[in-house]
Each structure stands twice: as structure tokens, then as C-alpha cells.
Amino acid sequence: MKRLLPFLITILCSLQVLSSDNEALEIALTNVEQDVVAWRRHFHENPELSNREFETAKTIAAQLRELNMDSVVTGVAHTGVVATLIGAKPGPAVALRADMDALPVSEKTGLSFASKAKGQYNDSEVDVMHACGHDMHVAMLLGAAKVLADNRDQLAGSVKFIFQPAEEGAPAGERGGAELMIEEGVLGGKVKPDAIMGLHVWPVPLGTLNYRAGSFMAGAESFTITVNGEQTHGSSPWRGVDPIFVSGQIMTALQAIPSRYLDITKGPAVITIGSIHGGVRSNIIPDQVVMAGTIRTFDAGERDVLHEKLKKTVEGIASAAGAEAIVDIGSYYPITGNDPKLLKRMMPTLDWAAGVDKVVEHPLITGAEDFSFFQEKIPGLFLMLGVNDPGVAAGDSPANHSPLFSPNEDAMIVGVRALVGFAMDYADISKDQ
């Protein structure tokens, strides 16, 4: 019964995508599927790291120029590509975004088109793999661009296609990603999008579109804690100040912050120490320990509380032991979510794209996405596309960033349909806003 009302809304409100007038659209969607698979396999076999997506960008730009876009701009935020398509009918502008970069991961999928690429990461040569599905994201957006270009006569308004570099983070000492694209004007110019949509492949049931109104993915930031003590012989700890012992107390105490000082009704929070370095041998107490970690939050106010408690806890423990501790909190990826009003209005389109029973509410995700920077400027949707093999439940397949991550390509046409539907239908839903 819960899905009956959305089903009726689908019938009544999605006539623009389900009507006989869109037979050409359905034919174009069918015809593009093989292209999308071929593009995905090409990008998977030839991955490139963040801010180094040179050949990826060339291939994307060449494909877009073949589609007779109104403009194709390269070199945005180093390697980004932005294309604009102006529809035959007047209407608002929207943006569709895909990320392009791969990861320093050694592929173990055994696929015939598995990556053999190498790259430079932290001054070392590494294997490179599309272990997070960005190859699929690019292929689906190219597919949507082709379908929309072939059906320009039905398009009301304009579409910006944003192919973004460095979602996984720019190399040390560089800037990049969504934030830099925005600074360089990707949301401005003659065509200014009123809304934006992105997709991310996710190891959940095949072909599902997974959403959550409001906060969906966590805000994320890195931090370091430097504990300065006083070096001495390991046999005589009382003659110095042991930063390793102090660091152990800090690591334990940090876990009390989410459980005892934050309002958990506003959303969960995570503090993780991912690395700790100090000392050179067993019988020397060093003078310094450096810890590095990550923070994940879903509420801006509770994030402020966490920061305050983190610094007070660290500094207080260090001071009590006669040590000094310095907390440095790094750059921040804001919370990624779904604009509730936009999501509600686009639900019939999502039902059309995937099927009424395949549009699923999803739990909070503690991973982070720099798509959030776009959503700080304009309303947006960010959905997870299920890519598990048929019958494989969530959690029963290799996850993103695994060397075994091998998403099912059959899901991609659902992603293409969702992107196309968003671009085609936004003009109609925006009339009611």
C-alpha cells in the first residue's frame, strides 16, 4: 500500500516520459546501451589518477563534439570537460555530473578489460584501477548526452554535462575537484543550472536507484594530532614524557566524543585514527608522535561540537601528562544529500527510470562525496545505482575501493534513463515551484 500512491503519481505525473510522443526517446535509450558498455570498458582499461585524467578528457571531449553540442570546454579545473546542449524549447537549465578519476589500486578482477595502467602517487609508481566505478559514471553521462542530443527537439531548456576530475582528492600540493570547477565558473556563464544530478554505482541490488531525503552521505574531513613529549631511555620513562603513552590515552578518549557529547538524534558521527607514527626502536621513548585520522558527521552543529571537544580532549590529556598536543583539522567535504522538495517532485521520473519497485530508500552512508560542493550552490539529487549481480544482496559483494570491485554493467542503462529523465522532466516540475 505504501507504494500505491507513488505508483498513481507516476501514472498521472510522468506522462511526459511515458507518452507515445517519446517513442524516439525509448529507441535512443535502447540504441545507446551498447555504446555505454563499450565506453565503460575503454575507460576501465585506461584509468588515470586525480588531476591526471588527460587521455580520459580527450576521449570524452571527442565523443561530445561528435554529438554537435552547443559548446565543449576542456581544461576546467585542470582536466575537466564541460559541454552544453540547448534544447529546442524554452525552459530552465540543469546540470548532470560524472567524476572521472581512478584510484591507486592493483586490480584483481580478472576481467578481459582489466587495467594494466600505472601512475605516480605520492612520488611512487603505483597500479591504477577504476575501483570506485567512475568509469561507469563517465560512460552513463556520455550515454545520456547522446540520447538528449538525439532528442533535442523534445528538450525544454538546457543541459550542462560536467565531467569532473579529482573527486577522490587532488594530489598533495594541488587543488581540484568540484570546488575548483565551481571557482572556475562551471555553474555560471550563459547557461546557469537551476538544479544538478549525480549518480554513484553502489554494491546493492541490481538496477535499484537508492535515495535518502536530506542528509545522505557524511561530511568528511581529515585531521592530524601531533603529540610532543621528551625523549628518554625506554628503561626510565619517568626521566622524560612519553608521547606514545599519551597518544594511546588520546585515541581511547576520542571514542567517547560521539557517544557522550554529541546529540545522536541529529545524526551519527565517526572519529577514526588511521595512522600513528612515533619512535625508531624498542628501548627509546621518542619525543614526538603524529596521528592522522578522519571525521564523519551528518549535522553541521554537531560537527562544531565535535571539533571543540576534540581539541579540548586532546590538549587536556597531553597537558595532564606534561606533554604538548597540536590538533590540525584539514579540508572539509560537506554533507551530500537530496533536496527534499526536488526529490519528491522527481520521484515519478525515477520510477520511470528504474521501475516502481526499484526506487528504494537507503540508510545513511558514512562515505563522502565532493558533489556536495555543487549542492551548496544549487538544489541537487545524488542517487546510488545498484550494481550487484542478480540475486546478490547488499554487503555480499566486493565494495567500492576493493581490488575485486566488479559492478554489473546491466545497471548502467538505468543510470542513463535517470539522467535523461531528470533533464527532460525538470522543466515540467519546475513550473510548479
| pLDDT for the residue numbered 403 | 98
Cβ neighbors of 152 (< 8 A, separation 6 or more) are 85, 86, 87, 88
Q: Which helix (H) or strand (E) holds 162?
A: strand 156-164
Average pLDDT, the chain: 94
| pLDDT for the residue numbered 21 | 53
- As to burial, measured by CB atoms within 10 angstroms (0-12 exposed, 13-18 middle, 19+ buried), residue 207 is buried
| pLDDT for the residue numbered 270 | 97
Eight-state DSSP code of residue 80: E
Cβ neighbors of 242 (< 8 A, separation 6 or more) are 229, 285, 321
Catalytic annotation present for 333: yes
> Could you say which of 26, 230, 315, 409 is catalytic?
409
What would the pLDDT profile of 249-264 be if each residue is shown by its tens digit? 999 999 999 999 999 9
What would the pLDDT profile of 5-25 be if each residue is shown by its tens digit? 444 444 444 444 443 358 999
Phi, psi of 386 (to 5 degrees): -70, 130
Catalytic annotation present for 409: yes
Which fold would CATH assign to domain 219-333?
Alpha-Beta Plaits (3.30.70)
CB 62 within 8 A of CB 42: no
d(CA 412, CA 143): 9
What would the pLDDT profile of 238-248 be if each residue is shown by its tens digit? 999 999 999 99
Cα–Cα distances in angstroms (integers) from residue 109 to residues 40, 393, 407, in the given order:
15, 19, 10
What would the pLDDT profile of 117-169 be if each residue is shown by its tens digit? 999 998 999 999 999 999 999 999 999 999 999 999 999 999 999 999 999 99
Angle, CA of 285, 288 and 291, to the nearest 5°:
115
| pLDDT for the residue numbered 6 | 47
What would the pLDDT profile of 82-98 be if each residue is shown by its tens digit? 999 999 999 999 999 99
> Could you say which of 53, 167, 333, 426 is catalytic?
333
What would the pLDDT profile of 182-192 be if each residue is shown by its tens digit? 999 999 999 99
What would the pLDDT profile of 55-75 be if each residue is shown by its tens digit? 999 999 999 999 999 999 999
Phi-psi region of 267 (alpha: psi -120 to 50; beta: other; left: phi over 0): left
Partners of residue 381 on adjacent β-strands: 197
d(CA 245, CA 251): 10
% of the chain exceeding 70 in pLDDT: 94
Tally DSSP H helices, then E strands, for the chain.
12, 18
For range 378-397, the mean pLDDT? 96
d(CA 147, CA 417): 9
For range 31-47, the mean pLDDT? 98
Q: What angle, rounded to 10 degrees, do the helices at 412-430 and 134-150 form?
A: 50
CATH code of domain 4-216+335-430 = 3.40.630.10
pTM for this structure?
0.92
For range 305-311, the mean pLDDT? 98
Question: Grid coordinates standing for 202?
Answer: 553502489
% of the chain exceeding 90 in pLDDT: 92
Is residue 428's pLDDT more than 90?
no
Cβ neighbors of 37 (< 8 A, separation 6 or more) are 139, 409, 412
CB 28 within 8 A of CB 130: no
d(CA 109, CA 107): 6
| pLDDT for the residue numbered 243 | 98
Is residue 176's pLDDT more than 60?
yes
| pLDDT for the residue numbered 13 | 46
How do the domains of the chain map onto residue ranges?
Answer: 4-216+335-430, 219-333
